[in-house]
Amino acid sequence: MSSGEDLPVTTRDRIIDGASQLTTTHGWAWVTMSKLADHVGVSRQTVYNEIGNKSALAEAMILEELARFLERVTNAFDKHPDDIVDALREAATQVLEFAEDNPLLHAVVSATHGADTELLPLLTTHSQSLLGVAKIVVSERLAGYELDAVGERLDAVIDMVVRLVLSHVMQPSGQPVETADDIAWIAQRVLRP
């Protein structure tokens, strides 16, 4: 669903939220368009009209969850408008802490058997839309900072930071604050050599 603002909840929002709830409760393999329609209180045809097929539903669900993660990135940059390293540290911390307790992310990452693996590639090998959206958001936020890296070098920094954070979202190796400090340290060395 839409974040933060008081926007009306659409049927599409309700369907995507319902799919997330069913996935975290029962697993993605259990979710069918009929079960989802019953859960949301709409017809199966409405689910198809609003979303399309189950693959489109999976992508919509993952992109909606990505929006929740990116809201934390935006808030972190708003909180540190004058210090890019602090903004990146805050963004990484917020994203990693949100990931730690995120039931949908846990359902996707821990689903390593049978048909449940259908969602995992959306976060890993087929994640171009996810990476693309995240990199656009970070790139737009970096535009307000004075940076040593420009052009292709800045694009490389953005790619590195986004991929590094996503890697730790998928497979944490430490506490969010410690990991965020490490990411900020790396970014500082690149952005302010």
CATH code of residue 167: 1.10.357
Per the domain annotation, does 11 fall within a domain?
no
Higher pLDDT, 94 or 152: 94
Per-residue pLDDT, 115: 44
Higher pLDDT, 113 or 133: 133
Per the domain annotation, does 133 fall within a domain?
yes
* Averaged pLDDT for residues 57-69: 87
Integer Cα distance of 180 and 175 in angstroms: 9
Tokens of 176: 């969010």
- pLDDT reading at 77 higher than 80: yes
Per-residue pLDDT, 114: 46
Per the domain annotation, does 30 fall within a domain?
no
Q: What is the chain's Cα-based Rg? A: 18
**Cβ-proximal residues to 5 (8 Å cutoff; 6+ apart), any chain:** none
Per-residue pLDDT, 118: 62
Per the domain annotation, does 141 fall within a domain?
yes
- What total of structural domains would you count in the chain? 1
Res. 121 pLDDT band, cuts 50 70 90: low
Per-residue pLDDT, 34: 96
Please give the full DSSP string across the chain, using - where no structure is assigned. Answer: ---SS-PPPPHHHHHHHHHHHHHHHH-GGG--HHHHHHHHTS-HHHHHHHH-SHHHHHHHHHHHHHHHHHHHHHHHHHH-TT-HHHHHHHHHHHHHHHHHT-HHHHHHHH--SGGGGGSHHHHTTT-HHHHHHHHHHHHHHHTTS--S--HHHHHHHHHHHHHHHHHHHHS--S-HHHHHHHHHHHHHHHH--
Tell me which range, 37-46, 58-67, 133-142, is most confidently predicted by mean pLDDT: 37-46
Tell me which range, 4-18, 30-44, 124-138, 160-174, is most confidently predicted by mean pLDDT: 30-44
* Averaged pLDDT for residues 4-18: 84
Integer Cα distance of 123 and 113 in angstroms: 16
Per-residue pLDDT, 190: 83
Instruction: Say what angle helices 54-79 and 11-26 make with each other, to 10 degrees.
Output: 100
Per the domain annotation, does 13 fall within a domain?
no
Res. 2 pLDDT band, cuts 50 70 90: very low
Res. 117 pLDDT band, cuts 50 70 90: low
Range of the domain at 140: 56-191
Report the chain's mean pLDDT, rounded to a whole number: 85
Per the domain annotation, does 15 fall within a domain?
no
- pLDDT reading at 45 higher than 60: yes
